[in-house]
Amino acid sequence: MMEQAKDRRVVRTKAVIRKALTELIDEKGFEALTVKDITTRAEINRGTFYLHYRDKYDLLEQSEQELIKGLIGILSTIDLFDPTDLDMEQSFPYIVKVIEYMGEHADFLKTILGPKGDPSFHSLLKAMMSEHLFEKNVVPFIKKENVLVPTQYLVAYIASAHFGMIQEWLMKGRKESPQEIASIMFKLSARGPLYAAGVIKEKPTDCESDKS
């Protein structure tokens, strides 16, 4: 019981420190802030900070890695199914879960992906996607041997497109629901931007062709 209470205190303390980090990055940028700024904003002493982090760089790295760990946890729960069976009007359920998770961490993500954040975070996301999609194969219907383009370009395209959309959603105040954003993202991924832009029209089905 005492151990559980201690764990909860640690979680609360880390959440307060991360909130202070997020606010200060947004206000003055990461390079300009100090550990003293963080402890003052979080209303903790420096000893408490150093119980959990070596310095502000360690705090940033741990915060980013914890967020990525959560994304990996969602990806690793994907079951075997044929994505071609999904209706285009439905949302790929795991995209919804990812977006909901991003929404739960909206303040930190908005800041870290923003102009005062960490430019290297995009590279971390791409590395995570490459490792878990193609090396650890946590998404079973994606096979490296079936990919038609070099995997590094596929990962770069997916990461830039998807996280760019999520960044836009976060910056605009999350006006759409996670389900709406997931539906848009899935349609773009499944049929491509030219279809979404109305340049390429949907091909008629066999039945429709027979009628013409």
Residue 120, classed as helix, strand or coil, is: coil
- Give pLDDT tens digits for 138-165: 555 667 777 788 878 888 888 888 888 9
Instruction: Name residues whose C-beta falls within 8 Å of residue 201's C-beta, 6 or more positions apart in sequence.
Output: 195
| Average pLDDT of the residues of the chain | 82
3-state DSSP percent of the chain in helix, strand and coil, to 5: 70, 0, 30
Among 120, 122, 118, 144, which residue's Cα sits nearest to residue 131? Answer: 144
Would you give the DSSP letter of residue 132?
I
Among 5-9, 65-69, 104-108, the range scoring the smallest mean pLDDT is: 5-9
pLDDT for 136? 61
- Give pLDDT tens digits for 33-65: 999 999 999 999 999 999 999 999 999 999 999
Q: Is 184 within 8 Å of 177 (Cβ atoms)?
A: no
Tell me how far the alpha carbon of residue 126 is from its chain's centroid: 10
End-to-end CA distance of the chain: 73
